[in-house]
Amino acid sequence: MNPDRNLKPSFKPLELAAITDDLSALLARETAALAAMRLQDAIALKDEKARLTRIYRAAIEELRAGRTSLREATVEERQRITEAATKLAQVVSENESALRAGRAAIERVVAAIARAVNAKRRSLNAYAPPRRAPIRLMPMGGGIAVDHRL
């Protein structure tokens, strides 16, 4: 990945392919980090991912707006762009799946913690001294004397 690579409003076809490859490689690294539960590694890629995405988006917007054209591109350059775009689409799909799986796992952990906290809170809110068996007086034939001097 070349960190200094930036597309100008008019870019060359191979520059678009190179940016697409760079973005694909970065997303593949992020997906691998997420799959291995190395969240800090995935988070560290955030800024570079945003930068490459901005450059890629700008290039695609130039194409869509008609300010740039691939008409002058050779057949090999067009094929290279097509291969890069196909690979990017696959990597984006895998990355999205990994992000969804990670989010689902985090939501399950948070829900389990919330359930545990709520269960603990309910047990604390319902606190009462333990019940004691009622005192049963046995019927006696005689009386009971209580010494009140103490």
Q: What is the pLDDT of residues 35-45, one digit of tens each?
A: 888 889 999 99
The answer to whether residue 147 sits within a structural domain is no
The answer to whether residue 25 sits within a structural domain is yes
pTM value is 0.67
The answer to whether residue 2 sits within a structural domain is no
The answer to whether residue 45 sits within a structural domain is yes
| Domain housing 70 | 13-97
The answer to whether residue 149 sits within a structural domain is no
Query: Which residues, in sequence order, are CB contacts of 13 under 8 Å at separation 6+?
Result: 70, 73, 74, 77, 78, 80, 81
Q: What is the pLDDT of residues 39-97, one digit of tens each?
A: 899 999 999 999 999 999 999 888 888 777 788 888 999 999 999 999 999 999 999 99
The answer to whether residue 56 sits within a structural domain is yes
What's the domain count of the chain?
A: 1
Q: For residue 15, which phi and psi values (nearest 5 degrees)?
A: -65, -40
Ranges 38-47, 99-108, 122-131: which has the least confidence: 122-131
